[in-house]
A = this chain, B = another copy of it.
Amino acid sequence: MEEIKKYVEENKERFLNELFELIRIPSISSLSEHKPDMYRCAEQWTKIMLAAGADRAEVYETEGNPVAYGEKIIDPALPTVLVYGHMDVMPVDPIELWNTKPFEPVIKDGKIWARGADDDKGQAFMHAKAFEYLMKSGKLNCNVKFMIEGEEEIGSPSLPKFCRDHKDMLKADVILVSDTSMIGRDIPSITTGLRGLAYWQVEVTGPNADLHSGIFGGAVANPINVLCKLIADMQDEKGHITIPGFYDDVLEVTAEERAKMAKAPFNLENYKKSLDIKEVKGEEGFTTNERTGIRPTFDVCGIWGGYTGEGAKTVLPSKAYAKISCRLVPNQKHEKIAKLFKEYFESIAPDYVKVKVDYLHGGPSYVCPIDLPAYKAAEKAYEEVYGKQPVPVRSGGSIPIIATFEEVLGIKSVLMGFGLGSDAIHSPNENYPLEQFFNGITTIPLFYKYFGEIMKK
| A residues whose Cβ falls under 8 Å from a Cβ of B | 30-32, 90-91, 93-94, 97, 153-155, 181, 195, 197, 199, 201, 206-222, 224-225, 227-229, 231-233, 235, 275-283, 288-289, 291-292, 295-317, 320-323, 325, 327, 350-353, 360-361, 395-398, 421, 424-429
Contact = CB atoms under 8 A, between A and B. Distances in A.
Contacts of A297: 213, 217-218
A275 to B, nearest CB: 4
A219 B282 contact: yes
A374 to B, nearest CB: 23
A395 B215 contact: yes
Given A91-B313, A218-B297, A299-B314, 14 more contacts: A32-B310, A181-B215, A213-B426, A216-B275, A217-B299, A217-B327, A217-B396, A224-B299, A225-B231, A225-B299, A278-B351, A278-B352, A279-B352, A302-B315
5 contacts: A30-B310, A206-B277, A212-B426, A228-B229, A304-B304
Nearest to A201: B312
Contacts of A352: 277-281
Given A275-B207, A276-B207, A425 B212 contact: yes
A27 to B, nearest CB: 14
A212 B323 contact: no
Contacts of A323: 306-308, 312-313
B90 A214 contact: no
B94 A210 contact: yes
A93 B428 contact: no
A397 B316 CA distance: 12
A397 B212 contact: yes
A149 to B, nearest CB: 16
A351 B90 contact: no
A136 to B, nearest CB: 35
B199 A312 contact: yes
A303 B308 contact: yes
Interface centre among A289, A301, A305 (most CB of B within 10 A): A301
Given A199-B312, A218-B396, A224-B300, A211 B427 contact: yes
Contact of A312 (B212, B225, B235, B361): B361
Interface centre among A201, A276, A421 (most CB of B within 10 A): A276
Nearest to A223: B300
Contacts of A361: 312
Contact of A307 (B212, B292, B302): B302
Nearest to A214: B397
A350 B281 contact: yes
A140 B214 CA distance: 35
A277 B275 CA distance: 43
Nearest to A287: B219
Given A197-B314, A278-B352, A281-B350, A304 B299 contact: no
A424 B209 contact: yes
Contact of A311 (B31, B305, B314, B397): B31
A316 B303 contact: no
B292 A219 contact: yes
Contacts of A229: 228, 231-232
A215 B421 contact: yes
Contact of A302 (B219, B289, B299, B306): B306
A104 B282 CA distance: 53
A228 B219 contact: no
Given A210-B427, A228-B228, A352-B281, A292 B221 contact: no
A311 B211 CA distance: 28
A30 B295 CA distance: 45
Contacts of A233: 232
Contacts of A197: 214, 314
Contacts of A206: 277
A321 B228 CA distance: 12
